[in-house]
């Protein structure tokens, strides 16, 4: 029962952030610290009066130009690309639809929050129309494609890579582990993967766009400078004023749903101005009443939940910190001269800044934890750690993640021992069995200029009768509200998405004008 609130909390936060200018930064930080393992190239000389930061006169939508390859009319081409992406994204994110045969399969599956726990039992469930492979794997294959305003998923017999833009192929497979027998499948290796063809852009262009977005995050870059993090002052007001000027529709939504206690802090240094994008915001609970289930979640769960996630370099310095702490949504990165910069626990610079678009390989670590307080006792997981390797060349971009430690149970003494007996072996096998939990996300450009995205994860999953019993109890509580919760999540997300699109449409002339601005700059340089 506690799994669902944490997922819902992160989904609410990330849907909100993903449709704002702040939003792209979350994805940046998920890829940024690969630079720690490969020396960065020298940053290019600042081109604005703001020491590498974008000028106030530039539209906040200017970074989307990086989505198009360099060349004539780049801004106009980027607008066309972004238009296609937005139209596709609306269908994919907010209007999914299941074909009748696939719906029957979903009806036989446990709720999504307990699928991993019950995969070994699912393997032998005859009601599921498994496609049997020669090596003993049971699999379900799915295809997806746009269907008017929706995105339709259907059940298919075999996996087939997509051959047209906006088409999807997915697979869910379970293979008995080595110590299982035909009559007793006690452990399986689970695989969940998908492939998507797009005619917009690849991960590499997204990295370049996000790198440019970094230069947009600043206040006024003027004294009096901050002396300590966390003070709301003229730097924060300048940033919010620019947000309201450039994105009035989205800013209005944020004003309605969120209260900002802090947005950013600006410090002076010999190496140039430093912006600590240091968000502390709270959900305005009453604003969520139009979404009753989300409102009920926040009203009940906010006082009890603490969840944290950090991205670190090999030296233990931070590239990003994210937390949900008793109702406070926090997010922190550091930017110097428009470039991502590592920082220490005291929120001071701790290394060279990084030009993200120039990095071709590296790695970073992610460390997360989450706990909920019930009856004055804390329960949860800590030390949820992953190592990610990043590779990029002219045609492809890849992230490979692997769990690097066994998650630790958080519970009071006495209760901890019982929980460890129930779940300890499941977690140990998840982290270490059959190579441990690992995932991959990549994109590559095809000869015809489209992009093939592929991703998925594999993990060994042990059968645990006690965990399955607990999962069934949780399912009975959650099942009644699952469809309604997802519908409200999508409705909330589309509300913010609509505001973002309205601002983007208003900014089209300013984006298109970047073509002539760059031509003028080239003439002046001659």
pLDDT tens-digit series, residues 376-428: 778 888 999 999 999 999 999 999 999 999 999 888 887 777 777 777 788 88
Beta bridge partners of 440: 400, 456
Q: How far is CA 325 from CA 14, 18, 444, in A?
A: 15, 20, 38
Task: Please name the residue ranges forming H helices in 72-118.
Answer: 74-94, 100-108
Examine the pLDDT at 8 and tell me if it is beyond 50.
no
β-pairing, 361-374 vs 318-325, is unpaired
Considering only CA atoms, which of 65, 22, 43, 70 is closest in space to residue 332?
Answer: 22
Q: Are 141 and 169 within 8 A, CB to CB?
A: yes
Predicted local distance difference test score (pLDDT) of residue 32: 34
Q: Which range is most confident: 47-51, 71-75, 324-328?
A: 71-75
Q: Which tens digit of pLDDT belongs to each residue from 465-482?
A: 667 666 666 666 555 556
Q: How far is Cα 324 from Cα 346, in angstroms, rounded to an integer?
A: 19
Mean of the pLDDT values across residues 308-337? Answer: 94
Predicted local distance difference test score (pLDDT) of residue 476: 60
Q: Which tens digit of pLDDT belongs to each residue from 63-102?
A: 999 999 999 999 999 999 999 999 999 999 999 999 999 9
Predicted local distance difference test score (pLDDT) of residue 335: 97
Query: Average per-residue pLDDT in the chain?
Result: 85
Predicted local distance difference test score (pLDDT) of residue 523: 34
Predicted local distance difference test score (pLDDT) of residue 296: 85
Predicted local distance difference test score (pLDDT) of residue 47: 35
494: left (phi over 0), alpha (psi -120 to 50) or beta: alpha
Predicted local distance difference test score (pLDDT) of residue 221: 95
Could you tell me the two tokens for 206?
Answer: 């997204």
Examine the pLDDT at 12 and tell me if it is beyond 50.
no
Predicted local distance difference test score (pLDDT) of residue 23: 32
Q: How far is Cα 37 from Cα 378, in angstroms, rounded to an integer?
A: 36
More confident residue, 11 or 167: 167
pLDDT band at 163 (very low <50, low <70, confident <90, very high): very high
Examine the pLDDT at 521 and tell me if it is beyond 80.
no
Could you tell me the two tokens for 322?
Answer: 């994210």
Examine the pLDDT at 463 and tell me if it is beyond 50.
yes
Mean of the pLDDT values across residues 98-112? Answer: 87
The secondary structure of 478-515 as a DSSP string is HHHHHHHHHHHHHHHHHHHHHHHHHHHHHHHHHHHHHH
Percent of the chain surpassing pLDDT 90: 63
Q: Which tens digit of pLDDT belongs to each residue from 125-152?
A: 889 999 999 999 999 999 999 999 999 9
Q: What is the pTM of this model?
A: 0.85
Predicted local distance difference test score (pLDDT) of residue 478: 57
Predicted local distance difference test score (pLDDT) of residue 479: 56
β-pairing, 150-156 vs 96-98, is parallel
326: left (phi over 0), alpha (psi -120 to 50) or beta: left
């Amino acid at each position: 029962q506690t799994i669902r609130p944490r997922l819902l909390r992160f989904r609410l936060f990330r849907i909100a952030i993903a449709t704002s200018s702040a939003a792209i930064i979350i994805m940046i930080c998920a890829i940024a610290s690969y630079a720690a393992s490969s020396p960065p190239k020298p940053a290019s000389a600042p081109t604005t009066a703001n020491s590498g930061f974008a000028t106030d006169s530039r539209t906040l939508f200017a970074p989307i130009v990086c989505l198009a390859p360099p060349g004539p009319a780049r801004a106009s081409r980027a607008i066309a690309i972004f238009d296609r992406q937005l139209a596709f994204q609306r269908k994919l994110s907010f209007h999914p639809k299941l074909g009748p045969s696939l719906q029957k399969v979903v009806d036989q599956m446990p709720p999504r929050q307990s699928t991993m726990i019950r995969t070994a039992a699912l393997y032998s469930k005859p009601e599921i129309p498994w496609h049997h492979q020669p090596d003993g794997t049971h699999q379900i294959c799915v295809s997806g494609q746009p269907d008017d305003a929706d995105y339709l998923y259907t059940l298919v017999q075999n996996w087939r890579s997509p051959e047209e833009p906006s088409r999807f192929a997915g697979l869910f497979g379970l293979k008995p582990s080595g110590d299982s027998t035909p009559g007793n499948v006690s452990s399986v290796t689970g695989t969940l993967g998908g492939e998507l063809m797009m005619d917009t852009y690849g991960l590499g262009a997204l990295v370049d766009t996000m790198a440019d977005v970094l230069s947009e995050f600043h206040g006024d870059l003027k004294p009096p400078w901050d002396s300590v993090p966390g003070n709301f002052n003229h730097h924060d007001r300048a940033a919010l004023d620019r947000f309201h000027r450039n994105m009035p529709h989205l800013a209005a939504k944020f004003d309605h749903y969120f209260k900002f206690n802090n947005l950013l802090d600006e410090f002076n240094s010999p190496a140039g101005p430093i912006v600590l994008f240091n968000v502390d915001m709270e959900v305005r609970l009453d604003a969520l009443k139009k979404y009753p289930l989300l409102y009920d979640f926040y009203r009940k769960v906010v006082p009890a939940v603490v969840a944290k996630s950090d991205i670190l370099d090999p030296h233990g310095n931070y590239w990003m910190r994210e937390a949900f702490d008793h109702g406070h949504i926090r997010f922190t990165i550091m930017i110097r001269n428009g470039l991502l910069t590592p920082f220490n626990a005291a929120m001071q610079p701790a290394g060279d800044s990084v030009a993200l678009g120039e990095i071709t390989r590296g790695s970073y670590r992610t460390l997360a934890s989450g706990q909920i307080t019930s009856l004055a006792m804390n329960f949860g997981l800590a030390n949820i750690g992953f190592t990610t390797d990043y590779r990029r060349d002219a045609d492809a971009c890849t992230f490979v993640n692997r769990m690097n430690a066994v998650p630790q149970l958080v519970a009071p003494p006495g209760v901890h021992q019982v929980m460890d007996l129930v779940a300890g072996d499941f977690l140990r096998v998840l982290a270490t069995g059959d190579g441990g939990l690992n995932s991959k996300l990549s994109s590559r450009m095809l000869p015809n200029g489209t992009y093939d995205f592929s991703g998925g994860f594999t993990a060994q999953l042990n059968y645990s009768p006690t965990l399955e019993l607990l999962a069934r109890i949780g399912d009975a509580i959650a099942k009644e509200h699952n469809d309604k919760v997802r519908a409200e999540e999508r409705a909330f997300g589309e509300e913010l998405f609509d505001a973002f699109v309205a601002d983007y449409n208003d900014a089209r002339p300013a984006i298109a004008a970047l073509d002539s601005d760059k031509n003028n700059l080239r003439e002046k340089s001659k």
